[in-house]
Chain A
């Protein structure tokens, strides 16, 4: 059963609220970062590869047309 008399009491945690909520907040923030960071990195790499491909395709096309 719910261990607190009210939501206010739940937030206060009998005076330990700062420690408990800071712990959970920092933890989940950092966990979210370590999940999102590689996803962004992969996307960035693929974008750079795509750009590089487009550049070299244009370069090749320009080369053949100038012959």
Chain B
């Protein structure tokens, strides 16, 4: 096996990225499917209901993982944009472009499931509280990046404009994260912390952790699939893609 720097260098070339990730896909898909299935069934049918909220609490098993990934995914998009701008790496721009609709979808899930959870819990689908409003801003940032990607006929200009927006918008992430601490909010404070214990009962926490892991696998899978589609499109005039289309090489 070649050295680690060589491995990264090859990963950065669209063609080798395409074939390397092709081998990872079945494993990612299997992991995502298993983790999400186990987590969902566990959370819906076997985890205890909340003492105050009852069964509407079960929405947490998709709401929290989707929100986590919406935030983490924004960093993925912004970093990919930065790498693309600084080192002019084609593949990095492609990853950034792929991360935008994926992040938008996860933010959408987070907002919709939050609204559906809010109705039985708070009596309303929507409230202009700090966290919810900043998540809506996140959704608009993702849509903005998508819009800029499509606004320019010149790919280079599209890459630059959308990367700049992605980078400027990163300030929103710590705001979302700390919103429940800085403002008097309706949305409840963090129950999962990186340091120290969680305030959640293990019977509720365990399926949540499984779902978070499942969503991470799902994110990786979706991002790789979208990047591969983008690679094929942008490299459609190269000989390796022509071979791929003719069925001369395995996918």
Q: How large is the interface on A (under 10, 10 to 19, 20 to 34, 35 or more residues)?
A: 20 to 34
B137 to chain A, nearest CB (A): 20
A61 to chain B, nearest CB (A): 16
| Interface presence of B226 (CB below 8 A) | yes
B169 to chain A, nearest CB (A): 21
- A61–B173 alpha-carbon span in the complex (Å): 58
| Interface presence of B136 (CB below 8 A) | no
| Interface presence of A8 (CB below 8 A) | no
B205 to chain A, nearest CB (A): 16
Which of A10, A20, A26 has most chain B Cβ within 10 Å?
A: A20
| Interface presence of A64 (CB below 8 A) | no
- A62–B48 alpha-carbon span in the complex (Å): 73
Inter-chain contact A49/B245, CB cutoff 8 Å: yes
CB-CB under 8 A from A24, the residues of chain B are 40, 44, 62
CB-CB under 8 A from B46, the residues of chain A are 1-3
Given A2-B46, A50-B246, A20 contacting B225 (CB threshold 8 A): no
| Interface presence of B9 (CB below 8 A) | no
B50 to chain A, nearest CB (A): 10
A33 (CB) vs chain B CBs: closest residue: B105
Number of residues from B at the complex interface, CB < 8 A: 42
A17 to chain B, nearest CB (A): 8
Inter-chain contact B225/A26, CB cutoff 8 Å: no
Inter-chain contact B236/A49, CB cutoff 8 Å: yes
B227 (CB) vs chain A CBs: closest residue: A38
A33 to chain B, nearest CB (A): 8
> Which residue in A4, A16, A46, A49 is a CB contact (below 8 Å) of B56?
A16
B21 to chain A, nearest CB (A): 12
B242 to chain A, nearest CB (A): 6
- A45–B251 alpha-carbon span in the complex (Å): 14
Inter-chain contact A3/B47, CB cutoff 8 Å: yes
B223 to chain A, nearest CB (A): 9
Inter-chain contact A20/B222, CB cutoff 8 Å: no
| 15 sampled A-B residue pairs with Cβ under 8 A | A14-B55, A15-B120, A19-B59, A19-B116, A20-B44, A20-B55, A24-B44, A31-B222, A38-B222, A39-B225, A39-B229, A41-B233, A42-B228, A42-B229, A53-B242
A residues neighboring B (CB under 8 Å): 1-4, 10, 13-17, 19-20, 22-24, 26-27, 30-31, 33-35, 37-39, 41-42, 45-50, 53
